[in-house]
Structure 1
Amino acid sequence: MGRPSIAAVRREQILDATKSTIAEHGVHGATLDRIADSAGMSRGHVRHFVGNRDRLLLDTAIAVFADRSGRVGSILPSEIADLEGALDYLFGPEFNSPDRENAVVLGLVELSRVTPDIADVLTTAYTATRVQLAELVARAHPDASQESCLTAAYGVLTCALGSVFLGDFDRDPARMTRTRAAAESLVAAL
């Protein structure tokens, strides 16, 4: 197998630098100059390999929400096979740690309000997640209506996302336990 092209390597470096810059300076502070500095390149090289800032931010959104094939899909890992696994992930430390990835997602959420293409990426990812959760809820509760399963999935996802956003400032050690209990209550009510 051949080596990856220098363009592909540089592109990955730039996407990584973009995520770091958004995490450190916010989405509006993620200028091409800062991204170039973080990547150890000139601004011209960044533009050469990824285009303008708008294109770079869209590519970053796609990279954050894409699966291994490069397609934007569910935010749940592909190995999740049941509702318990989904809840473990959504209310577990990996998804809920206030880390770089969550800072980037928050920046992209902010940007989605004024950038339709980024809003489309986020909508695609979270819709796929909601649909996957509804399917997992339906498997766990086969007698529940499709609408009830979709409503419960919406509630579970809303609890998980709300808890992630609160995690940046709410240091209550019971936050995740309580949030998961709220989500489980929604599902148990089916």
Structure 2
Amino acid sequence: MPRPSMKLERREEILKAYETCIALYGVEGATQKRIAEEAEIARPLLRHHVGNNDELLIEVVKRYTDRCRTSMLEFAAYPFTDQDELLAVLFLDNSDLTTATDTMIATNLIVVAQTHAPIKELMKSWFDDVHQSFELVLSKLYPNAPKDIVTTVATGLIGIYFNLDALFPIKNNDKNFQKSSYGAAKLLLGSLENEGEL
């Protein structure tokens, strides 16, 4: 019988491999064969360490959303001093908030969520956390802005931010697109500086 720590380590390797396969091939294309190859283990060991396909998918969604939740909590707690610092973190600094791979995983999981109720609930909770984190950051930076305007701007900012990552595979190193995304976000934030009027 393997030591528990080795089993946990192997499980983590499998879930990480599954995430990589989802990012590259989508959920449908993330076959057990590909996952096993990515994790460098024998295919029958997938079930032994994680379970059947559905259990494996639920586990990878939980792993992904837990990781994102931690990142969003750190983002919301960061003491931003002005909009330029916030924009730099979101669009210029290549921070660890999310990566293009994370965005591809999210995009593929959102597709699956349309027909898979448990995943839909997990992804909805994930997005609610993202939205609340953005709202909290904006509320601290613009304490006089009305809540409904903060909510609207947070929604737009999230859209711009994730769009930039989602288009990374075809817009990689496109500085004009990055600059335009930054500019669009700055315009949105400007509405909060003017007492929240859009």
Q: What is the TM-score with the length of structure 1 in the denominator?
A: 0.82
The match for 2:18 is: 18
The match for 1:176 is: 178
CA contact (8 A) 1:65 1:75 kept: no
Instruction: Specify which structure has the higher proportion of helix.
Output: 2
The match for 2:159 is: 158
Looking at structure 2, the residues matched to 90 and 173 of structure 1 have their Cα atoms a distance apart, in angstroms, of 14
AA at the equivalent of 2:29: G
The match for 1:78 is: 74
| Structure 1 position 132, deviation (Å) | 1.6
| Structure 1 position 183, deviation (Å) | 1.4
Looking at structure 2, the residues matched to 110 and 44 of structure 1 have their Cα atoms a distance apart, in angstroms, of 27
The match for 1:40 is: 40
Looking at structure 2, the residues matched to 120 and 8 of structure 1 have their Cα atoms a distance apart, in angstroms, of 26
For residues 125-146 of structure 1, the C-alpha deviation after alignment (integer angstroms, 9 at most, x for no partner) is 2211211211221221121111
| Structure 1 position 114, deviation (Å) | 2.0
Structure 2 unmatched runs, 5+ = none
The match for 1:102 is: 103
Structure 1 unmatched runs, 5+ = none
Q: What is the TM-score with the length of structure 2 in the denominator?
A: 0.79
The match for 1:188 is: 190
Identity value in percent: 24
Looking at structure 2, the residues matched to 34 and 167 of structure 1 have their Cα atoms a distance apart, in angstroms, of 23
Number of corresponding residues? 183
The match for 1:147 is: 148
